[in-house]
A and B are shown apart, each in its own frame.
Chain A
Amino acid sequence: MPKLNVNGKMLDYAADDGTPLLWVLREQLGLTGTKYGCGIAQCGACTVHIDGVAVRSCVMPASIMTEKQMITTIEGVSADGSHPVQRAWQALDVPQCGFCQSGMIMAATSLLKEKPNPTDKDIDEAMTNICRCGTYNRVRTAIHTAAKEMAAAKSGAAPKKVAELGKSVLNIEHVAGGQA
């Protein structure tokens, strides 16, 4: 049985040749955080990391993946939603419908790995995912916010609370913990 290395686990799967990685993740491995949006690598809703690099899984056959290639999906970004990018997203209430946001977060985490302090131009070039609700400006702000948090963490600072980030960046009041 073929195997995929997903979120640090070796997982067996069964799929016909040519089945895109997206549909193996969603239908064989139950990882539905990765979304189908277009099937032709246009929208980015299916973005995952392969060895840390953002790729669009809807056009990548699962069968070309080796067991050594490390796949990370939104479910593997952190165990509890505490990755600095996720916290920035939560702090600034970036998602609207949320459907594209897994892909957005995967693209953003990949960008920040490559460029820890991205310029607006870097963000323009890396973030080509489509959002129909129109969250782009908050996505941009959240990437800058996460970059600052990650830089601070590197120099030993404790991570800021989501509520603190939300208040300081967009004056958003986090009273409830959300529904999770």
Chain B
Amino acid sequence: MSSATTTSRRTFLKGSAATTAGLVIGFHVPFLSKQAIAQGLATSIAPEVNAWVVVQPDDKIVIRVARSEMGQGTLTGLAQMVSEELECDWAKVTTEYPTPGQNLARQRVWGNFGTGGSQGIRGSQDYVRKGGAAARMVLIQAAADEWKVPVAECAVSKGVITHGPSKRTTTYGKVANAAAKLAPPKDVPLKDPKDWKVIGKRLARLDTVDKTTGKQIYGMDLKLPGMLNAAVKDSPVFGGKVKSVDDAGVLKRPGVVKVLRVGDSAVAVVADTWWRAKTALDALKIEWDEGPNAKVSSASFGETLKAGLDAKDAVVGNSVGDAPAAIASAARKIEAVYSYPHQNHACMEVMNATVKWTPEKCEVWVPTQNGEAAHAAATDAAGLPAAQCEVYKIHLGGGFGRRGATDYVRQAVNIAKQMPGTPIKMIWSREEDMAQGRFHPVTQCKLVAGLDDKGEITGLHMRISGQSILAGVAPQNIRDGKDPVVFQGLNPPGPEASIGYTFPTLLVDHAMRNPTTPVGFWRGVNLNQNTIYLESFIDEIAAATKQEPLALRRKLMKNHPKHLAVLNAVAEKIGYDKPAPAGVFRGLAQTMGFGSYVAACAEISISKEGALKIHRIVAATDCGNAVNPQQIEAQVEGSFVYGLSAALYQECTVKDGRIEQTNFADYPTLKLAEMPKVETVIVASGGFWGGVGEPTIAVAAPAVLNAIFAATGKRIRDLPLSKHSLKA
């Protein structure tokens, strides 16, 4: 339970279903650092075997997971990876997060905490498996030492170590203390994939039960002793500042403790409950200095981007031969301009963070996709040395890239710093969350194809004009004016986000045009719009040259066997060689990104009134090694909800410098009734590790858009679809 020692170290939260006034959070400490153990603080706690594994005396296995769980199943997937090599009993596995502060103190023993770019498995598979293997090796060593027998005579299965010749047995739990004292092995071989027993299994997630009972604690649910609540409003115009605040009436409201400035652009109200803080904030009279962006709009951004389509200042992302020359001399040209809007991540759980600041220590409880970045932001905002700041990661109610940013962490620390010693839970309203997004970048794309007199493609030029995420969030990574992330899915052949077609000549270039809207990594990132552009245009070429879309793709994909394999898998599963049911039309799309190859075929119909019905989607994914197929299926299905919500409904428009959409009423999402049947084909070709949380989103929209064209002859080139009539 709660004590000064435990809260100042590892405050690990366990949901506690209090039913009467005041939520009680039980603090318990399943894990302490070696230093803490050396200080005798954890006499009843098992020592860690290594950074990744703790074995308790009752043989319960605690696996440390550095990446954040936000629904994508990484907690379970990474535990499977460690467990595979550890040879423990899966039924005894639990997980826990190490803290960013501990990672810093221990020379980043857990590596990168960042959870984005579908990196959970593929970015840490090597060292987490080695962590499991190294723990197994010292555990067996400890048993062999105790028995005074050679290690080679010992074997382990499900955490039970057996000495072959004497048939003696012991368990991981019994030798864990001794193993913890052994030097880690230098050479840590990993299993041959053919021997995997846990990787590849359709295992149930480790974190489901509490999510069905209301016990799962999210950032928003925290309650610390003496805690107050904060509601905050930042300048609705990006780059604006607070001019004045009239708090006279608000300070008299019941429960309101303080009205304060947060930096120069935001105002917060602190009250005993969040509802009181929020309603007081709504009543507060704030005058804004709207600054230089007061008049920008989606229309003005659009003009800027349009000018970039023909501008000279473009950087090249992929080039084969001389595409402009080939196109200039082509017998025939096809040209189209596409665009993609701003979108908000709209996590179900709005941004929030809880902070306790004292002159000696700053503690932050936060749902974050990047514990280390949150720690750095908190340290900076707290004005304290890094060693005096700690971040406790709380389960995320969705992330989708939004929670990789640290703006809200910084804000909460800023508020708490103005109220030393009082824990402050800052929660945004949905309206604030919509206004202060880190939006999907806006881009436009002009595609021009040159065709010879037989209709064969001689060259393709894709000119992307628009917003760079790196320029907005990590400008130090822009080299020679180039943001490499802009070209996702259009890269030259290679292991990441490579284009799946071979054209005689090709030019993909980018004219960077950065609207003032803050930009962010939005699940699927630039693969989303790039795949819409290219896959729609491939269909346009097919239509213009009277070729069947699958046949044209197969012709262009001969040199790209992995891309082609998932497309073929989709075609086979949907029965592409047979006609669709009467009135139903098909559309295809394929792409590669986040290390994986994906394809989809959508079957849709359009009613006389122009209503779209998506009946069925077949999707294939080649992620190399499939760690947990049932969770891959869940991610693929979910990707269609996220991708189709975006394609059908979602656009954040800017007027007078501010985002116009305020809530789910004007920023709708796909609902269950609209959800098509999704059939997932996992093509695990082995030999590599690809991500699964994001790539499929990119094929959702173009598969449906191509099917809409097949049904209506209407080519949708700007989203969302709700702007267009599909009526015949």
Contacts and interface: CB of A to CB of B under 8 A. Distances in A.
Contacts of A30: 18-24, 223
Interface stretch (A63-71, A125-133, A153-161): A125-133
Contacts of A124: 672-673
Interface string B416-445: 000000000001011000000000000000
A54 to B, nearest CB: 14
Given A93-B208, A179-B95, A139 B215 contact: no
B634 interface: yes
Interface stretch (B69-77, B323-331, B381-389, B618-626): B69-77
Interface residues on A, range: 35 or more
A55 B49 CA distance: 50
Interface in A77-109: 77-78, 81, 86, 89-90, 93-102, 105
B208 to A, nearest CB: 5
Interface SS of chain A: helix, strand, loop or mixed? Answer: loop
Interface residues on B, range: 35 or more
B106 interface: no
B348 A176 contact: no
Interface SS of chain B: helix, strand, loop or mixed? Answer: loop
Interface in B199-245: 201-218, 220-221, 223, 229
A136 B641 contact: yes
B672 A136 contact: yes
Given A11-B20, A30-B18, A38-B664, A178 B430 contact: no
B605 to A, nearest CB: 17
A32 B254 CA distance: 23
A31 B213 CA distance: 11
A45 B150 CA distance: 58
A94 B215 CA distance: 16
Contacts of B429: 39
A144 interface: no
A57 B396 CA distance: 22
A43 interface: yes
Given A130-B671, A136-B672, A171 B348 contact: no
A3 interface: no
B19 A175 contact: no
B326 to A, nearest CB: 42
Contacts of A90: 204, 208-209, 212
Contact of B669 (A11, A33, A130): A130
B295 interface: no
Interface stretch (B171-179, B271-279, B451-459): B271-279
Interface string B614-646: 000000000000000011001001111110010
B17 interface: yes
B398 interface: yes
A136 B9 CA distance: 39
B348 A31 contact: no
A35 interface: yes
B669 A38 contact: no
Contacts of A11: 19-21
B398 A31 contact: no
Contacts of B664: 37-38, 40, 42-43, 130
A26 B427 CA distance: 13
A138 B637 contact: yes
Given A30-B22, A30-B24, A93-B634, A173 B210 contact: no
B17 A176 contact: no
A148 B257 CA distance: 53
A178 B73 contact: no
A178 B23 contact: no
Nearest to B69: A97
Contacts of A77: 213
Given A11-B20, A96-B634, A133-B638, A35 B205 contact: no
Contact of A31 (B70, B204, B214, B663): B214
A5 interface: no
Most A C-beta atoms less than 10 A away, residue of B70, B631, B672 = B672
Given A74-B214, A135-B638, A174 B204 contact: yes
A122 to B, nearest CB: 11
Contact of B19 (A9, A95, A131, A140): A9
A98 B216 contact: yes
A172 interface: yes
B215 A180 contact: yes
B209 A81 contact: yes
B400 interface: yes
A138 B20 contact: no
Most B C-beta atoms less than 10 A away, residue of A86, A94, A95 = A95
A59 interface: no
B358 interface: no
A73 interface: yes
B678 interface: yes
B90 A176 contact: yes
A13 B94 CA distance: 37
Interface string A12-50: 110110011001001111111111111110110100000
A175 B216 CA distance: 21
Interface of A: 6-7, 9, 11-13, 15-16, 19-20, 23, 26-40, 42-43, 45, 73-75, 77-78, 81, 86, 89-90, 93-102, 105, 123-125, 127-140, 166, 170-180
Given A16-B255, A30-B20, A133-B348, 8 more contacts: A19-B275, A96-B71, A96-B73, A98-B211, A128-B672, A135-B634, A136-B672, A138-B637
Please list the 9 inter-chain residue pairs (A to B) with the smallest Cβ-Cβ separation, ordered nearest first.
Answer: A33-B214, A134-B641, A134-B638, A97-B71, A98-B211, A99-B397, A96-B71, A124-B673, A74-B214
18 contacts: A32-B214, A37-B664, A38-B664, A40-B664, A93-B204, A95-B212, A98-B395, A102-B214, A129-B672, A130-B671, A132-B398, A132-B645, A135-B638, A136-B637, A139-B672, A171-B630, A176-B90, A178-B209
